[in-house]
Amino acid sequence: MLDHSHSTMAEGTDVGIIGGLAVAVWFLILDTIAGHPFQTPSLLGQVVLFGEARPDTNRLVFGAILVYTAFHFAVFALLGMGLVVLVHWAVRDSVVRYALLPVFLVFEVMFYGLLEVFSERTNTLFPFWAVVTANTLAALCMGIYLWVRHPDFRRSIQDIPLGDAPR
């Protein structure tokens, strides 16, 4: 039976925060190793939200860091809510599980594609491997949380394996 004892919005926000933290921590580690902690949200805030074609890479723009961080977590909260709805739906209808892989693949390439559109400068600032790794970490963290939180989803996979007809 589906667990309706929790709010999709609240759980989705939790899922989004988990994914957003995974990405933020990954880039904080990369930035710190490179000697420039918080450079990623500074640059993304400048490019994505402030529309700067040539972001200032020599200093941190505090306003860009704050605004981008809020934007980052808001987007992840919305993504988390969508994933929770999808998991709840997949428990009721096994065919919906086929949507999980395309959602993951779109998630993987969407952000990198947006970076390509916003500025050619971001090509060198955010290599493909770093973005794919960040998105994979986020997907794994969110997926593990949802897997643990939804025993009905796990049972539905055992009862009706992917590709099997509903009984």
**So what's the pLDDT on residue 78?**
96
**So what's the pLDDT on residue 2?**
47
Q: At what angle do helices 8-33 and 128-149 cross, to 10 degrees?
A: 150
pTM for the whole thing? 0.86
Digit-coded pLDDT (tens) for 40-69: 999 999 988 998 888 899 999 999 999 999
Digit-coded pLDDT (tens) for 74-128: 999 999 999 999 999 988 888 888 888 788 788 777 777 776 776 666 667 788 8
- Asked whether residue 5 carries a pLDDT value surpassing 60, the answer given is no
Residue 70 — pLDDT band, cuts 50, 70, 90? very high
C-alpha 18/C-alpha 38 separation (Å) is 19
Cβ burial, residue 146 (10 Å; 0-12/13-18/19+): buried
C-alpha 47/C-alpha 161 separation (Å) is 44
